[in-house]
């Protein structure tokens, strides 16, 4: 059996009931097959793939907090410090009822390659909790965040592990966590990114994932002889990534016609009103029904069982910006049949393996999240730089660095795909380019 297959089987056997983690590992290992096989003996002797697929450290903890009725609630807390070969662990904290160890491991594993692709010195990590901030009061969210950090503060630090936002963790949660970290340690340091601008945050960090997604998509289309200007774009999700993806797509002259949330989706043939969307989602923290109620051109659709809705709309470009496995084979078929020419992932692993293969086989340009959504974490690394030098850069400075990073990522993965005989396979290109840097650093640092 080849080394790649052996390690995949081992990962499945050693990590039972973690399907998302298996999926993430499978995608990466399949892409690496040619690279590994060219040097199989050395990689096998060093157990490089086993080490790559095993987190350096996993921290699991209890998060007790008191709700507004005086009732004690208990959540599970996680931080997976996956790989520190190229820098301190870096990755977000997801707060969502679906969070479990397998989800955090898939996200942490993806983060290793994503962070490597940015070209910046950041290792891979991820954390979170099954706490659901939805419907909680500010006081309840603060109680949870303070309890979460009271346990986690022992394991993080500006030079060891720097968490940030993800689904359910935004500026409010980062603020409460930062305050508690500072109170416990007495340190005013860049231990978290995505901070508010008055206490060490970076301009353009809020916009970075969505803007970065569009910078990369624009470059991918350009290199394939197409211009995003005038194109119709379908976006899923309505959180931080989706909002700023829609905004940048419009700035680039495209028309965004959809957004979605967990219960429904909106088709707005006139183009999404981003200011209204921000008001509904960022200020009121309300559902998309409120968006539809306030805009006559918008059609609201309830999500029926298993249906993803937005992918049945005719579009040139699809940007899944909601969550994992939200675009399946049926959706991929609908997109291709409707003439979609490009899919770029704003979320982490939103496309199933079968859907990815179908899109690639049917000539749809496909850029995986670990490249396409790397703008968020890249700008987090820029926030770390600013914190270290105790300076703040202008919006234009950060934004132009972000653009340079995204364009660079695309060319790196494009070239890696070509070099290994898989031109146009951006999944393989991203995995190979991300892997090579980490593998070299791991090898140089010995068996650790």
Residues acting as catalytic residues: 126
Report the alpha-carbon angle 405-407-409, nearest 5: 65
Report the alpha-carbon angle 367-342-361, nearest 5: 80
Give the DSSP per-residue string, 414-445. HHHHHHTT-TT-HHHHHHHHHHHHHHHHHHHT
Output 193 or 217, the one with its CB closest to ligand GLU: 193
Q: Does 193 bind ligand GLU (CB under 6 A)?
A: yes
CB neighbour list of residue 361: distance below 8 Å, 6 or more residues apart: none
Q: Does 346 bind ligand GLU (CB under 6 A)?
A: no
Q: Is 92:192 a contact under the CB 8 Å cutoff? A: no
Helix (H) or strand (E) holding 105: helix 101-117
Output 53 or 93, the one with its CB closest to ligand GLU: 93
Q: Does 387 bind ligand GLU (CB under 6 A)?
A: no
Least Å from the CB of residue 13 to ligand GLU: 28
To 10 degrees, what angle do helices 426-444 and 19-37 make? Answer: 80
Site string for ligand GLU, 101-140 (x = CB under 6 A): -------------x--------------------------
Q: Does 164 bind ligand GLU (CB under 6 A)?
A: yes
Output 348 or 425, the one with its CB closest to ligand GLU: 348
Least Å from the CB of residue 345 to ligand GLU: 11
Site string for ligand GLU, 355-384 (x = CB under 6 A): ---------------------xx--x----
Least Å from the CB of residue 198 to ligand GLU: 19
Pairing relationship of beta strands 161-164 and 89-95 according to DSSP bridges? parallel
Residues 59-98 close enough to bind ligand GLU by CB under 6 A: 90-92
Helix (H) or strand (E) holding 125: strand 123-129
Q: Does 166 bind ligand GLU (CB under 6 A)?
A: yes
Secondary structure (H, E, C), 54-90: CCCEEEEEEEEEECCCCCEEEEEEEEEEEECCCCCEE
Least Å from the CB of residue 90 to ligand GLU: 5
CA 17 to chain centre: 22
Which residue's CB atom is positioned nearest to ligand GLU? 92
Determine the size of the site formed for ligand GLU (CB under 6 A): 12
Binding site for ligand GLU (CB under 6 A): 90-92, 114, 164-166, 193, 348, 376-377, 380
């Amino acid at each position: 059996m080849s080394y790649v297959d052996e390690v995949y089987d081992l990962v499945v056997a050693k990590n039972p009931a973690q399907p998302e983690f298996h999926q993430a590992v499978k995608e990466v290992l399949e892409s690496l097959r040619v690279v590994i096989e060219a040097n199989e003996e050395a990689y096998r002797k060093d157990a490089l793939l086993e080490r790559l697929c095993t987190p350096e450290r996993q921290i699991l903890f209890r998060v007790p907090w008191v709700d507004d009725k005086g009732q004690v609630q208990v959540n599970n807390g996680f931080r997976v410090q996956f790989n520190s070969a190229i820098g301190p662990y870096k990755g977000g904290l997801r707060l969502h009822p679906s969070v479990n160890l397998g989800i955090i491991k898939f996200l942490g594993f993806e983060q290793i390659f994503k962070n490597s692709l940015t070209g910046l010195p950041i290792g891979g990590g991820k954390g979170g909790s099954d706490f659901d901030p939805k419907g909680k009061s500010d006081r309840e969210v603060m109680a949870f965040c303070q309890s979460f950090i009271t346990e986690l503060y022992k394991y993080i630090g500006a030079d060891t592990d720097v968490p940030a936002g993800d689904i359910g963790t935004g500026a409010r949660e980062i603020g409460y966590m930062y305050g508690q970290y500072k109170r416990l340690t007495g340190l005013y340091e860049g231990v978290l990114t995505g901070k508010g601008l008055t206490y060490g945050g970076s301009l353009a960090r809020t916009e970075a994932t969505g803007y970065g997604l569009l910078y990369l998509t624009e470059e991918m289309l350009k290199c394939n002889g197409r211009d995003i200007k005038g194109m119709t774009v379908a976006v899923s999700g309505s959180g931080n990534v989706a909002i700023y993806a829609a905004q940048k797509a419009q700035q680039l002259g495209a028309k965004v016609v959809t957004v979605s949330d967990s219960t429904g989706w909106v088709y707005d043939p006139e183009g999404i009103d981003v200011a209204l969307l921000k008001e509904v989602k960022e200020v009121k923290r309300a559902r998309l029904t409120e968006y539809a109620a306030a805009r006559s051109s918008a059609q609201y659709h309830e999500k029926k069982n298993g249906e993803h809705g937005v992918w049945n709309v005719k579009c040139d470009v699809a940007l899944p910006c909601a969550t994992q496995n939200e675009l399946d084979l049926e959706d991929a078929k609908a997109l291709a049949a409707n003439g979609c020419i490009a899919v770029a992932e704003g979320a982490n692993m939103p496309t199933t393996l079968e859907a990815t293969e179908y899109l690639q086989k049917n000539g749809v340009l496909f850029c995986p999240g670990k490249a396409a959504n790397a703008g968020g974490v890249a700008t987090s690394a820029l926030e770390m730089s600013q914190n270290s030098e105790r300076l703040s850069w202008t919006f234009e400075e950060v934004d132009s660095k972000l653009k340079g990073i995204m364009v660079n990522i695309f060319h790196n993965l494009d070239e890696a795909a070509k070099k290994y005989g898989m031109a146009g396979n951006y999944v393989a290109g991203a995995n190979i380019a991300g892997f090579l840097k980490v593998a070299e650093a791991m090898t140089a640092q010995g068996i650790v």
